[in-house]
Structure 1
Amino acid sequence: MGRLPSPDDLLILLTVARLGRFNAVAETLGTTHTTISRRIVALDKQLGGRTLERSPHGWELTELGASAVAAAEAIEETLGSLSGLIGQDKNALSGLVRISTSDGFGAEFVAPALVRLQRRNPLLNVEMLSATRKVSQNRSGVDLEIVVGRTDVSNAQPIFLANYFLRLYAGAGYAAERGLPETLDGVGQHGFVSYVESALQVAELGHRASQLPMPKSSFQATSIFAQVEAVRRGAGIGLLPNFMVAGRPGFVPVLPDDFQRQLSIWAVARPESLRSGRVQAVIAALKDEVQERQDVLAA
């Protein structure tokens, strides 16, 4: 009988299948790119064939690799059950889950959902990366992407989370000093706060896609938190997520009956990630958070 493959190497292969990049796997496992590559080569030798092949989408599984990953998933599930027993809770989740999300929705919805999930599962580790971008066509180095707008990707599954609104707001001081426009054409006579168009991947979030008139001046920032603060401090009128400012002191709605944009939020994951209990639990927690706070999103 030939030598059985190393369980550690199988679990490394499983992580590569989920994240797609050796560097991301090395960061997750606290090791180096060279070590990951060496362990995969060793696993290929033990199995008598290649488990991975390069593609435009990062590392993809071969047929042999898919069979090896199935075995690795069984090992992971068994180890997860053992960790739960050690922690006196056989249903507890453990290990690391990495999530990419836009910063506004991430702070307001993703972080609360993950904190609540982690409090129920103290062996679960979370890494949340802020990025306002389209869904990655290549494997992105995360288990789950939370993205705004269209999800045109062929090798991953989009999961609808919620709709929300972008609306126009001004700071209370700005409104008192400069006044507010009475028509949409009048918005062009004011300063405008928005994303940096040249750095924006999600066009629906920018001023250009809004079809509003060109502003008198602009304040552009890649961070939605910087935009919210700029509006509050009087930089101009801003196109802001309603869930971040509606009803909060210091902000005045601008032409609320004349302009709004509705956008969607999606969770996107590759098939290998969706088979992870950790990822499934995160998606469930996000759905619960959104459901409980529909009034904030629909306002």
Structure 2
Amino acid sequence: MSLRSFALYFVYFCTNNTDTSHTGTPYMFDWNDLRYFLELSRRGRLSHAGMHLGVDHTTVARRITALEEKLGIILFDRTNRAYSLTAEGRRLLIHAEEMEAKSIALMDDITPAKEGPRGVVRLATPEAFGSQFFARHCKNFHAYNPGIMLELVAETRQFSFTRRDADAAITLARHDHGRVMSEKLGDYRLGLYAAPAYLQQRPPIVQLSDLRQHHFIWYIDDLQPLPELQLLDKAIPDPKIIMRTTSVTGQANVAESGLGIALLPCYLADRMKVLTTVLPGEVSITRELWLTMHEDTRHMPHMECVWNFMANLISGERPVLMGHR
């Protein structure tokens, strides 16, 4: 047995192990079975959990079945290929995550590692924030936290902490559903941007009313996942939209090609040298950035590292987020 496995067994044996109904001695979970349980609860599919654990999906299925048989309960509802926790599974999840947190803390205490806290954190962000802003700082995150594997999910959609879609999320509004902890970290600004090639071929823009003669690139309304991003109609009266896309990065690239004007985050558009601002004094929208984590994991050492890094990053990069042109 490895030192890490011993620590896991030790923590659980000392804190939770009181069932003597079968043998007269405390029943000890096989931590490996709980590892499979934790990964499947977080990934939702056997293949995804197996990939993360480095085993075949049939191995995951076998270990979950074995755990259910030992406990005498059903931990997952099976719907097609998706696995979701039952009420019993959710109760076990609380204890399993406590064991995981205690074991990590114990290992950090008895065998301090130069690399600091260890773990895997799936961070969900809006598409442009993750791919165009945070991705540029991942090298620094790894330099300070080499023991943490970061999984960046940069998609503009709603995430469920109940379904464990993510361990942490950057959102545009406070997340107040379920057992989560949210904190506002800062703001970012959006403005109108266009390519000089477009502006030179169209009527001049001196005031807000001049925008009625211009073309805009925007989201697809019925595929807009976040109400916080329904901004264009509020900023521009009756905009003439010539093209729509679900991607903010796509909007920026279309504007760069010279097709029209786009309402873009400054942290994205200011880096594109071809784009220039349009009526920056009249059209300026500020949105919030919130960091949310499940309250059961918020104070785990590796989650604390992510929280602190994101808070410091957003505070330190305020000029970029708010626009520096």
TM-score range relative to shorter protein: 0.7 to 0.9
Cα distance between partner residues in 1 of 2:93 and 2:280 = 54
Residues 120 and 257 (structure 1), Cα distance of their counterparts in 2 relative to 1, 3 Å cut: closer
User: 1:217-238 CA distances to partner (integer Å, 9 max, x unpaired)?
Assistant: 4222222222112112211111
1:21 is aligned to: 44
User: 1:169-191 CA distances to partner (integer Å, 9 max, x unpaired)?
Assistant: 11122122214433333323211
User: 1:232-281 CA distances to partner (integer Å, 9 max, x unpaired)?
Assistant: 22111110001222375322222222222211122222223324322221
Among the aligned pairs, what percent are the same residue? 24
Amino acid at match of 1:169: Y
- 1:89-100 to structure 2, matched below 5 A, reads 89=114, 92-100=116-124
Cα distance between partner residues in 2 of 1:112 and 1:8 = 36
Shift of 1:296: 1.6
Structure 2 residue corresponding to 1:198, chosen from 216, 222, 226: 222
1:67 is aligned to: 95
1:291 is aligned to: 315
2:261 is aligned to: 237
* Cα contact 2:185–2:314 (8 A) shared by 1: yes
* 2:211 aligned counterpart, secondary structure: helix
Cα distance between partner residues in 1 of 2:161 and 2:309 = 25
- 1:211-250 to structure 2, matched below 5 A, reads 212-246=236-270, 249-250=273-274
* 2:296 aligned counterpart, secondary structure: helix
Structure 1 residue corresponding to 2:186, chosen from 140, 147, 162: 162
* 2:297 aligned counterpart, secondary structure: helix
Residues 244 and 160 (structure 1), Cα distance of their counterparts in 2 relative to 1, 3 Å cut: same
Cα distance between partner residues in 2 of 1:202 and 1:144 = 17
Shift of 1:26: 3.6
Amino acid at match of 1:21: G
Shift of 1:201: 0.5
User: 1:45-89 CA distances to partner (integer Å, 9 max, x unpaired)?
Assistant: 44x4548466xx95265545533432333223345567854xxx1
Structure 1 position 7 matched with structure 2 position 35: no
- Greater RCO between the two (CA within 8 Å, min separation 6)? 1
User: 1:1-25 CA distances to partner (integer Å, 9 max, x unpaired)?
Assistant: 25411122233344455x2624453
Deviates more, 1:57-66 or 1:279-288: 57-66
Structure 2 residue corresponding to 1:107, chosen from 118, 131, 144: 131
- 1:51-200 to structure 2, matched below 5 A, reads 52=75, 58-59=84-85, 61-63=89-91, 65-79=93-107, 85=113, 89=114, 92-136=116-160, 138-200=162-224
TM-score by length of 2: 0.76
* Cα contact 1:168–1:240 (8 A) shared by 2: yes
* Cα contact 1:165–1:297 (8 A) shared by 2: yes
* Cα contact 1:161–1:265 (8 A) shared by 2: yes
**Considering only aligned residues, what root-mean-square deviation do their CA atoms show, in Å?**
3.1
Residues 292 and 298 (structure 1), Cα distance of their counterparts in 2 relative to 1, 3 Å cut: same
Residues 281 and 100 (structure 1), Cα distance of their counterparts in 2 relative to 1, 3 Å cut: same
Q: How many residues align?
A: 292
* Cα contact 1:51–1:63 (8 A) shared by 2: no
Please, which runs of 5 or more residues in structure 1 have no aligned partner?
none
Cα distance between partner residues in 2 of 1:16 and 1:7 = 14
Deviates more, 1:8-17 or 1:252-261: 8-17
* Cα contact 2:174–2:182 (8 A) shared by 1: no
* Cα contact 1:166–1:261 (8 A) shared by 2: yes
User: 1:133-167 CA distances to partner (integer Å, 9 max, x unpaired)?
Assistant: 23436424322222223534233222322211111
Deviates more, 1:107-116 or 1:220-229: 107-116
Shift of 1:192: 0.3
TM-score by length of 1: 0.82
Structure 1 position 260 matched with structure 2 position 284: yes
